[in-house]
Amino acid sequence: MASDSSDGGATKKSKRPLIVLGVIALTCIAAIGGSVAAIGADRVISLVTGGAEAEGTEVESDQAEGEGRGAELKDSGLVELLPFDEMIVNITSITATGRRTSRFLKVNLSLAINPEAEGVERLVERKPFIRDAMQDFLRQLYEDDLAGSAGIALLKSELLRRARIVAETEAPREVLFADLVIQ
């Protein structure tokens, strides 16, 4: 009977590397799926294979940066980033007893933009107005609005929607958070 229990332990130990490999494989699949969703299947394929489309896009964004959008936009491959200064706003929190209190929300974000989209030049011109619209929205939030991944996804979509409305262009693709802290 002692040999039976030692075989069971060996079987459990031999399954651990398989579980780890499975988790790594699922993570890779999720990363590829996210890339496809963010930049499109054609661009992901060209990046992986080193195709001409990936090289051409980098050259085009380098040329566009030299044409005047310059200092405000940072090149990051297939998209350009428009960074915003750190924003600190008050948000409402409800205590366990039901009392309203105020908390601080610190947000440091950038907009990932399509450099080839129509109206992209308006983003830099209207950056102060975009920031103001974002702050107006952030000040209306409750702490519970930011709970979980669904809360963050909703926050990103609302900020992106407001940036597109103010700039009157579909150039903004995504909101990227560097920091999101509630204190």
Asked if residues 155 and 134 have their Cβ atoms less than 8 Å apart, the reply is: no
Mean pLDDT score, 47-70 = 45
Most confident of 25-29, 60-64, 85-89: 85-89
- Model confidence at 11, pLDDT cuts 50, 70, 90, reads low
> Mean of the pLDDT values across residues 43-72?
48
- C-alpha to C-alpha distances, 156 to 15, 111, 175, nearest whole angstrom: 39, 10, 6
Task: Delimit the domains of the chain by residue range.
Answer: 2-39, 71-182
Number of Cβ within 10 Å of residue 4's Cβ equals: 7
Cα angle, residue 172 at apex, residues 167 and 174 outer, rounded to 5°: 140
Residue 141 in contact with residue 105, Cβ under 8 Å? yes
- Count CA within 13 A, CB hemisphere, residue 21: 5
Q: Could you tell me the CA-to-CA distances from 140 to 49, 134, 161 in Å, in that order?
A: 46, 10, 16
Is there a contact between 170 and 164 (Cβ–Cβ < 8 Å)? yes
The residue ranking higher by pLDDT, 24 or 174, is: 174
Q: Determine the pLDDT at residue 78.
A: 73
Of the chain, the percentage scoring pLDDT greater than 90 comes to 55
What does the pLDDT look like over 170-182, one tens digit per residue?
A: 999 999 999 999 9
Position 19 scores a pLDDT of 78
The predicted model scores a pTM of: 0.58
Going from the C-alpha of 112 to that of each of 66, 88, 117, the distances in angstroms are 18, 21, 12
Closest CA to 82 of 171, 179, 181: 171
Q: Which residue has the higher pLDDT, 124 or 21?
A: 124
